[in-house]
Amino acid sequence: MTYQSLRPLPLTALADRWGAPPAHFWLRGTRPERPVTLDEQTGIWHVNGYPEVVEVFSDPVTYSSDTVRQLAPDAPDYEKNGLLTQMDPPGHRRLRQLVGRAFTPRLVAGLAPRISALTHELLDRADERGALELVDDLAHPLPVTVIAELLGVPASDRPLFRQWSEEIFPREQGPTAVDAAGDGGSGGGGDIGVDEVAAALDLGRRMNEYFTEHADDRRRHPREDLLTLLVQAEVDGERLSPAALGNFAQLLLIAGHVTTTMLLGNTVLCLDTHPEYGDAVRRDPAGLPAVIEESLRLLTPFQVFYRATTREVELGGQRVPAGRALALWVGAANRDERVFFGPDDFRPGRDPNPHLAFGRGIHFCLGAPLARLEGRIALGILLDRYPDLRTDPDNPPVLMGNPELTGARELPLLTAGRPGRAAA
């Protein structure tokens, strides 16, 4: 049986063929036995149910994002001030307010013409070459260039940014605690050893040095960019410390492109298995946002977020002691049949579609409007330029082997239709 003859099977049937991580049972249409389970080997509580994940996201007092301080107070000291995702109130509120002043909806909306021009430029290059590999040609360079230009760091440093993101999210998956247990009943993340911690600290230092240098330059020579705004932003007369600024800039750079790369590829994969929706969007682009939201639900780009309990709690019928790590498997929650009818089906018509791909509560993704804008513009242009866009039966997609990310690492596409320029 050829790959092509499998179409249009549901995406669940393709998870193995595309090399999805074995522990991601939800990608294969399997339901967890319980919404909350303890992995005895690692001591991590895996949260797979939608109401349970929402409960954790919504209560930052009981479920701390500052997992290092909660779980390993003796861990080597590192400067994480500025890493919004690992902060609790009230520090989180102050920093979020401060960066919110710089990262405004107006600033994001103003990026539309640039995103459109960049998309055409990147696709023109692929057309000249006569081949389209979506990740290398568009899904990675577009968001990384947009966020680099926004921050005001040279987009020509793109290979460096790619190297960093690959150090953070290695392409291949290591053995996970869940694989070892063989139960398949919970999510799964690799054990973190001393070497990994040292490597992460080293990478953090290198990234921080890079941004500190650029921020120092903006203090002396302000420019029209986000780094300058961050250098100047104040809340209650307080400015970001240089270390916090460096940390925040690296968070923006990484969070600002890796997930959007996944989103672009995943939406193309969804449309590849359901070409009728691609045709519908070509006829009426107003349907594209719903297609993107459903792709975010079904193939959630970032799978897991961590919290630590600050007190004993009852969650999903389980008693979780204080000081324990919780892994929130957002992709599994997004397929909870208590909330989503036909959870494994791609149904852009869902209304409402309260997926958790961008999180919930005080840490709700700061970049969601930018990610959605990039998705709408880039995918709109892609569908318009290539009326017969599809995966290559002889060269099937390869998914990331990394347990934290769901998305294509290689996505060769056939563009049988004659490429034409879409309206910007």
Of 56 and 127, CB closest to ligand HEM: 56
Q: How far is the CB of 416 from ligand HEM (least distance, A)?
A: 28
Q: How far is C-alpha 354 from the chain's CA centre?
A: 17
Find the binder of ligand HEM among 112, 365, 414, 422 (CB under 6 A). 365
Instruction: Give CA angle at 246 (254, 66), nearest 5°.
Output: 75
What span, in angstroms and rounded, lies between the C-alpha atoms of 392 and 395? Answer: 5
Find the binder of ligand HEM among 250, 259, 391, 402 (CB under 6 A). 259
Nearest to 248 by CA among 80, 364, 68, 64: 80
Q: How far is the CB of 325 from ligand HEM (least distance, A)?
A: 13
Instruction: State phi, psi for 80 to the nearest 5 degrees.
Output: -110, 5
Of 192-200, 238-246, 259-267, 336-344, the window that binds ligand HEM (rule: CB under 6 A) is: 259-267
Residue 307's CB is within 10 A of a number of other CB atoms, namely 26
Residue by residue, what is the 3-state secondary structure of 343-364?
CCCCCCCCCCCCCCCCCCHHHC
Of 32 and 367, CB closest to ligand HEM: 367
> Which residues are within 8 A (CB) of 285 and not within 5 positions of it... i.e. 6 or more apart?
380
Task: Report the site for ligand HEM in 60-89 (rule: CB under 6 A).
Answer: 65, 84-85
Find the binder of ligand HEM among 24, 297, 363, 385 (CB under 6 A). 363
Q: How far is the CB of 130 from ligand HEM (least distance, A)?
A: 30
Of 7 and 350, CB closest to ligand HEM: 350
Alpha-carbon torsion (162, 366, 81, 329), positive or negative: negative
- 16 exposure class (CB count in 10 Å sphere: 0-12, 13-18, 19+): exposed
Task: Report the site for ligand HEM in 186-245 (rule: CB under 6 A).
Answer: none
Q: Which residues pair with 44 in a beta bridge?
A: 39
Instruction: Give CA angle at 27 (22, 32), nearest 5°.
Output: 85
Of 112 and 365, CB closest to ligand HEM: 365
Find the binder of ligand HEM among 96, 214, 274, 355 (CB under 6 A). 96
Of 42-50, 224-232, 300-308, 314-322, the window that binds ligand HEM (rule: CB under 6 A) is: 300-308
Helix (H) or strand (E) holding 221: none
Nearest to 18 by CA among 396, 402, 406: 396
What span, in angstroms and rounded, lies between the C-alpha atoms of 339 and 149? Answer: 39
Task: Report the site for ligand HEM in 343-362 (rule: CB under 6 A).
Answer: 357-359
Q: How many residues bind ligand HEM (CB under 6 A)?
A: 24
Task: Report the site for ligand HEM in 102-131 (rule: CB under 6 A).
Answer: none
Q: How far is the CB of 255 from ligand HEM (least distance, A)?
A: 4
Find the binder of ligand HEM among 252, 281, 327, 373 (CB under 6 A). 252
Nearest to 18 by CA among 261, 257, 269, 186: 269
Residue 159's CB is within 10 A of a number of other CB atoms, namely 9
Of 84 and 178, CB closest to ligand HEM: 84
Of 96 and 409, CB closest to ligand HEM: 96
Of 229 and 255, CB closest to ligand HEM: 255
Instruction: State phi, psi for 364 to the nearest 5 degrees.
Output: -45, 135
Find the binder of ligand HEM among 122, 138, 263, 268 (CB under 6 A). 263
Find the binder of ligand HEM among 366, 373, 389, 411 (CB under 6 A). 366
Q: How far is the CB of 56 from ligand HEM (least distance, A)?
A: 9
Q: Which residues pair with 315 in a beta bridge?
A: 318
Find the binder of ligand HEM among 226, 255, 269, 315 (CB under 6 A). 255
Q: Is 301 in the site for ligand HEM (CB under 6 A)?
A: yes
Q: Is 265 in the site for ligand HEM (CB under 6 A)?
A: no
Q: Which residues pair with 5 in a beta bridge?
A: none
Of 247-255, 308-316, 332-340, 390-398, the window that binds ligand HEM (rule: CB under 6 A) is: 247-255
Q: How far is the CB of 259 from ligand HEM (least distance, A)?
A: 3
Instruction: State phi, psi for 140 to the nearest 5 degrees.
Output: -90, -55
Q: Cβ distance 233 to 225 under 8 Å?
A: no
By residue count, the chain amounts to 424
What span, in angstroms and rounded, lies between the C-alpha atoms of 122 and 411? Answer: 15
Q: Is 256 in the site for ligand HEM (CB under 6 A)?
A: yes
Give me the residues that bind ligand HEM (CB under 6 A), please.
Answer: 65, 84-85, 96, 147, 251-252, 255-256, 259-260, 263, 301-302, 305, 357-359, 363, 365-367, 370-371
